[in-house]
Amino acid sequence: MTVFAETEDFTVEWPNARTRIRGRENFVGFNRTYPEGWSIEVLHIVTDGSTAVSEVRVPHPEVGPYYVLSFLEVEGGLAKRGRKYWVEQRYEQPRRESAQWLEDM
User: pLDDT digits over 47-92, tens only?
Assistant: 999 999 999 998 877 776 889 999 999 998 889 999 999 888 776 6
The Cα–Cα gap between 21 and 68 comes to: 16
What pLDDT is stored for residue 94 in this prediction? 59
- The model's pLDDT over 21-44, given as tens digits with 9 standing for 90+, comes to 999 999 888 888 877 777 889 999
Residues 3-24 have pLDDT tens digits of: 557 889 999 999 988 999 999 9
- Contact criterion met (CB below 8 Å) for 66 and 87: yes
Show the domains of the chain with their CATH numbers.
5-89 (3.10.450.50)
**Cα 21 from Cα 12, distance rounded (Å):** 5
Strands of the sheet containing 41-48, edge to edge, are 19-22, 5-14, 78-88, 66-75, 51-58, 41-48
pLDDT of residue 48: 93
Other C-beta atoms lying within 10 Å of the C-beta of residue 16? 11
